[in-house]
């Protein structure tokens, strides 16, 4: 059944709950028998614990896909398309589970929603410049039409860019990492992955710093004597990161393909390991919360992740991410940036090692952290300054509580 597959797809599906989509053509108010296999693919995907998105092409239906066709099809009016979209939605709801109380609830999307206000100049500037014309002309569906008697209109030629942007939009806004479709769609699918790669291939660089955690160890014992919720070292680091980000807004930013967004709120994604892989729920407005509030929220996320009760809203909207492998005995590691965040902090374990203090060798508690940065957004000096601030808060924890 599988004709083509991107390398790493199986690993992605085994690693975590993955959002995946298939597009459906709204040229009629009822899906034809050829849509049965894609629908069943989404059904099986959802039964396997993943999240299906059914994309109805309200916008692409106005353009026409040249794949597998010998001539241009008739374009539909907006009124007819909206009627067809409603019919398709009604049919898909009979197969997929849209219960929003479930973490992998199916969703319906209509690409008309994000294309209706997209101007032509904005499209060729923000999308067209990322895909070379020779790349587009090399597609079999395009070559066959160009070699035929009728040729191909510019409208149909740009279809693969439009469908490619669908994948990009869902990737950015719904964390969608997989597109599926019939074999005739392979060229359009690859264009979508190429567009995402072009816009989001972050040029990483890494900064590592050792932090003296003696004061944090002592402070944690005292805090847990009065806190109703047990505070972990991860909670202390998260709070220190949140306060540091307020002082370094460039680190708390997002790369949006052709521009940088500086985020006013501090929403920190916390990597949580579950049997199926890794989930990253988000502690929102982390800089405004107390250590006990952060501890309670992180513990709740961890429990709901294990119980498979996290909702999509729980892992959307991060501005910075932390990943802690210290509890697994890892001293130091590098983490991959979670787009569109500009940075991610990898936290190692606290090791008891000899250190020099006041000219004497004494036992010390040292933790290593590594900041992965997107060089398009954050330069070395900015990243280093952030780590210096983080170090100062962790080495004197009372300062971040003021």
Tens digit of each residue's pLDDT (9 = 90 or more) over 120-155: 888 887 788 778 777 777 777 777 777 777 777 887
Between 238 and 315, name the one with better pLDDT: 238
Predicted confidence at residue 277, as pLDDT, reads: 61
Decide if 3 is inside a domain.
no
| pLDDT single digits (tens) 20-71 | 999 988 878 888 888 889 999 999 999 999 999 999 887 776 665 555 454 5
- Same domain membership, residue 145 and residue 246: no
Full domain range(s) for residue 334: 204-401
CATH code of the domain covering residue 48: 3.40.50.620
Predicted confidence at residue 16, as pLDDT, reads: 87
CA distance 102 to 245: 33
- The domain total for the chain is 2
- Same domain membership, residue 157 and residue 131: yes
Predicted confidence at residue 83, as pLDDT, reads: 86
* Nearest residue to 397 via CA among 210, 208, 221, 209: 221
Between 195 and 249, name the one with better pLDDT: 249
Predicted confidence at residue 64, as pLDDT, reads: 55
- Same domain membership, residue 185 and residue 43: yes
- Same domain membership, residue 314 and residue 272: yes
- Same domain membership, residue 317 and residue 231: yes
| pLDDT single digits (tens) 63-122 | 655 554 545 455 667 788 778 878 888 888 899 998 888 889 999 898 888 988 888 888
Beta carbons within 8 Å of 164's beta carbon, 6+ residues apart: 127, 131, 188, 191, 192, 194, 195
- Same domain membership, residue 165 and residue 53: yes
Predicted confidence at residue 3, as pLDDT, reads: 72
Ramachandran angles phi, psi of 112, nearest 5°: -65, -30
Rounded to 5 degrees, what angle do the CA atoms 295, 296, 300 make?
115
The DSSP letter of residue 117 is T
- Same domain membership, residue 358 and residue 292: yes
Q: Greatest CA separation found in the chain?
A: 86
- Same domain membership, residue 394 and residue 325: yes
Q: Which of 145, 166, 200 is the last residue of a domain?
A: 200
Decide if 1 is inside a domain.
no
Beta bridge pairs of residue 128? none
Predicted confidence at residue 117, as pLDDT, reads: 85
Predicted confidence at residue 70, as pLDDT, reads: 45
* Nearest residue to 129 via CA among 204, 194, 59, 57: 194
Helix (H) / strand (E) containing 377? none
In a 13 Å sphere around the CA of 115, the CA atoms on its Cβ side amount to 25
Q: Which of 142, 174, 200 is the last residue of a domain?
A: 200
Decide if 297 is inside a domain.
yes
- Same domain membership, residue 95 and residue 64: yes
Decide if 269 is inside a domain.
yes
Query: Regarding beta strands 176-180 and 19-24, do their DSSP bridges make them parallel or antiparallel, or are they unpaired?
Result: parallel
Between 157 and 393, name the one with better pLDDT: 393
Distance of CA 105 to the CA centre of its chain: 17
- Same domain membership, residue 41 and residue 19: yes
CATH code of the domain covering residue 284: 3.30.559.10
The answer to whether 230 touches 224, Cβ cutoff 8 Å, is yes
Q: Which of 171, 200, 229 is the last residue of a domain?
A: 200
Decide if 315 is inside a domain.
yes
Predicted confidence at residue 369, as pLDDT, reads: 96
* Nearest residue to 271 via CA among 193, 330, 336: 336
Between 160 and 209, name the one with better pLDDT: 209
Roughly how many angstroms between the first and final C-alpha of the chain, as a whole number? Answer: 61
Decide if 4 is inside a domain.
no
- Same domain membership, residue 240 and residue 162: no
- Same domain membership, residue 213 and residue 196: no
Q: What is the pTM of this model?
A: 0.60
Decide if 133 is inside a domain.
yes
Write the secondary structure of 318-350 as one string of H (helix), E (strand) and C (coil).
Answer: CCEEEEECHHHCCCCCCCCCCCCECEEEEEEEE
The answer to whether 71 touches 150, Cβ cutoff 8 Å, is yes
Q: Helix, strand, or coil here: 114?
A: helix
In a 13 Å sphere around the CA of 298, the CA atoms on its Cβ side amount to 29
Following DSSP, what letter does each residue of 144-204 receive, concatenated?
A: HHHHSSS---HHHHTHHHHHHHHHHHHHHHH-EEEEE--GGGHHHHHHHHHHHHHHH---E
Decide if 2 is inside a domain.
no
Q: How many residues make up the chain in this entry?
A: 402
Query: Regarding beta strands 343-357 and 320-324, do their DSSP bridges make them parallel or antiparallel, or are they unpaired?
Result: parallel
Q: Helix, strand, or coil here: 50?
A: coil
């Amino acid at each position: 059944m599988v004709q083509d597959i991107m390398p790493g797809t199986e690993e992605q599906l085994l690693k975590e709950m993955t959002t995946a989509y298939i597009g459906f053509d709204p040229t009629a108010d009822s899906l034809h028998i050829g849509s049965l296999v894609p629908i069943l693919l989404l059904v099986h995907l959802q039964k396997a614990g993943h999240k299906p998105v059914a994309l109805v092409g309200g916008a692409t239906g106005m353009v026409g896909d040249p794949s597998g066709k010998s001539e241009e099809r008739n374009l539909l009016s907006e009124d007819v398309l909206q009627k067809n979209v409603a019919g398709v939605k009604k049919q898909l709801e009979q197969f997929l589970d849209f219960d929003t109380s479930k973490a992998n609830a199916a969703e319906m999307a209509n690409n008309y929603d994000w294309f209706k206000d997209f101007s032509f100049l904005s499209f060729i500037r923000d999308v067209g410049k990322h895909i070379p014309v020779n790349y587009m002309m090399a597609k079999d569906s395009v070559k066959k039409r160009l070699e035929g008697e009728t040729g191909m209109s510019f409208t149909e030629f740009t279809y693969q860019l439009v469908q490619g942007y669908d994948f990009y939009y869902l990737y950015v806004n719904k964390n969608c990492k997989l597109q599926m479709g019939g074999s005739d769609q392979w060229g359009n699918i690859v264009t979508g992955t190429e567009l995402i790669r072009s816009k989001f291939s972050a040029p990483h660089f890494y900064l590592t710093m050792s932090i003296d955690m003696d004061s944090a160890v002592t402070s944690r014992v005292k805090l847990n004597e009065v806190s109703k919720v047990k505070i972990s070292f991860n909670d202390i680091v998260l709070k220190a990161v949140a306060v540091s980000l307020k002082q370094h807004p460039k680190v708390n930013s997002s790369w949006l393909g052709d521009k940088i967004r500086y985020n006013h709120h501090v929403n920190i994604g916390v990597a949580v390991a579950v049997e199926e892989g890794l989930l990253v729920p988000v502690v929102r407005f982390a800089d405004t919360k107390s250590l006990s509030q952060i501890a309670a929220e992180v513990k709740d996320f961890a429990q709901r992740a294990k119980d498979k009760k996290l909702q999509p809203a729980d892992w959307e909207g991060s501005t910075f991410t932390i990943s802690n492998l210290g509890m697994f005995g890892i001293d130091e590691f590098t983490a991959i940036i979670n787009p569109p965040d500009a940075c991610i902090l990898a936290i190692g374990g606290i090791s008891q090692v000899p250190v020099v203090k006041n000219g004497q060798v004494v036992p010390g508690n040292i933790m290593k952290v590594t900041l992965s940065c997107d060089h398009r957004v954050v330069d070395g000096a900015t990243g280093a300054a952030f780590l210096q601030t983080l170090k100062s808060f962790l080495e004197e924890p009372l300062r971040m509580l003021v």
